[in-house]
Amino acid sequence: MIIELRGVEFVNKGAELMLYSILSKLRKDLPEAEFAMEISSRAPEDKLRELNIMRKAKGRKQALLLYMMPKVLRQRLGKVLEKDVDVIMDGSGFAFGDKWGAKKAGVRLADHITKWKSAGKKIYVLPQALGPFSDHALSKKMRVILDNADLVIARDHISKKFISEIKPSAKNIRLAPDFTNLVDAIHDEKYKSLDGQVAIIPNFKMVEGKAVGDRENYFEFLRKSIEIVQKGGLQAFFLLHEGKDDEDIALQVNTKLQVGLPIIKESHPLKVKGIIGKSRGIVSSRFHGLVSALSQGVPCVATGWSHKYEMLLEDYDFRDGLADINIDETLLKEKLKYLINPEENTILVAKLKTRAEVLKLKSVSMWAEVIEDIRKKNV
């Protein structure tokens, strides 16, 4: 059985964490499965080889060469054609909605899914943020996806509402939390000095396309958060989730501090999760930075650019963790008390760990349904 993975990659740590989560779960529960991905700038061949992921032919010329090879030889070379694929899983964190448009929805799934379904492939849209879908062309693409996917799994109630409005009669829509809550972190001893500190996780999408004033407000929010944490007796560091754009924000904020913070650039997503798990708390604008914190019982202050942040905090019954970047400094101090005050921290950690166990069980149930459905196809 060959499972093609779409929407996951190696540049964004959240997308890479989802890739590791999928492989960890399915290699254990579907040991007969092999995995394939298309090579791209964000999923280079050497990275795919490292994880023993086969490379799917992309483009007519490459496919034609592989068509002339016997299947056994193709697979020995780690290559597959579309016709070799049995199951398609889309693990996009957030790729379907007005922000991304009809074209992206088409390239990712909608323009191919009817053909895939006719060929007998199983298609799963794994838990992710969805919507809104106010654009007519995008709504049509999403209807095609709903008509052909075996399961479409929304990650939160708002996403489920948006996708359900496309086809109210759909029986294949489900609700489940982000599934990276199940994958174990790796704790690297070289980061031990960061234990008990506060991780600051920036996100360039908070300033992308924004006016200069809005950009400065975000920089000021981070600066104020850092200084409040430091005055509370804690140390802080920047932890990057995606490349140069996020690093530029860290560098910009560092110019506003008396002493700039260390900038941690760890490439392995499970080690990033490990760093977060040992932190006293985080201030994060990255969704999967927040999931990695909350699922390990680590308090947070979150800022975000879509409904997915608010919904995540609601899942953990910690709505007070959400902050607007224009928040008054007094209110910001109140939110940061969960990181600074030992008693508040201890109480919240216990609450988050309890809630995390509930959400992990929901992820286990989600995977059980997906795996059972795959096995039906392959009986």
Identify the band that residue 379 occupies on the pLDDT scale cut at 50, 70 and 90: very low
Q: Residue holding tokens 């049509």?
A: 140
C-alpha distance from residue 35 to each of 27, 39, 50, 86, 331 (Å): 9, 13, 12, 10, 48
Res 270: pLDDT:
98
Q: Is 225 exposed, middle or buried (0-12, 13-18, 19+ CB in 10 A)?
A: buried
In the predicted model, what is the mean pLDDT of residues 197-216? 94
Please check whether residues 226 and 339 belong to one and the same domain.
Answer: yes
pLDDT for residue 222 is more than 90: yes
Whether the CB-CB separation of 356 and 294 falls below 8 Å is answered with: yes
181 and 356 Cβ atoms separated by less than 8 Å: yes
Average pLDDT for residues 294-311, to the nearest whole number?
96
Are residues 315 and 368 part of one domain?
A: no
103: confidence class by pLDDT, cuts 50, 70, 90: very high
Pairing of β 173-175 and β 151-154: parallel
Q: Is residue 125 pLDDT above 50, yes or no?
A: yes
pLDDT score for 316:
98
Indicate if the pLDDT at residue 368 is higher than 50. Answer: yes
Positive or negative: CA dihedral 331, 335, 339, 345 = positive
Which three-class secondary structure state does DSSP give residue 277? helix
Do 226 and 313 lie in a common domain? yes
The answer on 365 and 352 residing in a single domain is: no
- Stretch 269-275: mean pLDDT, rounded? 98
Least confident of 56-65, 95-104, 165-174, 237-246: 56-65
Q: Answer left, alpha or beta for residue 59, where phi above 0 means left and psi between -120 and 50 means alpha.
A: left
Phi and psi of 185, rounded to 5°?
-80, 160
Query: What is the pLDDT, as a whole number, of residue 59?
Result: 65
- Distances in Å between the Cα of 66 and the Cα atoms of 48, 201, 241 are 18, 43, 36
Q: What token pair was written down for 240?
A: 């990057």
How does residue 122 score in pLDDT terms, banded at 50, 70 and 90?
very high
Same domain, 138 and 201: no
Stretch 136-161: mean pLDDT, rounded? 98
H helix and E strand count, the chain: 15, 13
Q: Which of 58-62, 85-89, 277-281 has the lowest mean pLDDT?
A: 58-62
Residue 340 has a pLDDT of: 98
- Mean pLDDT to the nearest integer, 183-189: 98
Domain hosting 273: range is: 189-358
Handedness of CA 287, 12, 198, 176 (dihedral sign): positive
Count of domains for the chain: 2
151 plus 41 within the same structural domain: yes
Cα dihedral 25, 300, 98, 244, rounded to 10, equals -80
Going from the C-alpha of 48 to that of each of 9, 37, 45, 238, 266, the distances in angstroms are 9, 8, 5, 28, 19
Q: What is the mean pLDDT of residues 240-260?
A: 96
pLDDT, residue 75, reads 80
215/253 same-domain check: yes
Q: What mean pLDDT, rounded, does the chain reach?
A: 95
Instruction: Report how far residue 138's alpha carbon sits from residue 140's, in angstroms, rounded to the nearest whole number.
Output: 5
Going through 229-318 in order, the beta strands assigned E by DSSP cover 236-239, 263-264, 281-284, 300-302
Condensed to tens digits (0 to 9), the pLDDT of residues 40-76 reads 999 999 999 999 999 997 766 666 667 767 777 888 8
pLDDT value of residue 378: 53
Q: Are residues 155 and 206 in the same domain?
A: no
Sheet holding 34-38, edge to edge: 79-80, 54-56, 34-38, 2-6, 87-90, 122-128, 151-154, 173-175
Q: What is the mean predicted confidence (pLDDT) over 116-125?
A: 98
Cα→Cα distances 119→125, 182, 319, Å: 18, 32, 45
Looking up residue 91, the CATH number of its domain turns out to be: 3.40.50
Q: Give the pLDDT band of residue 92 (cuts 50, 70, 90).
A: very high
Same structural domain, 298 and 259: yes
Indicate if 352 and 367 belong to the same structural domain: no
Order of strands across the sheet with 281-284?
A: 263-264, 236-239, 198-201, 281-284, 300-302
Do 170 and 225 sit in the same domain of this protein?
no
Higher pLDDT pick, 69 / 254: 254
Asked if residue 241 and residue 169 are part of one domain, the reply reads no
Work out the average pLDDT over 127-148.
98
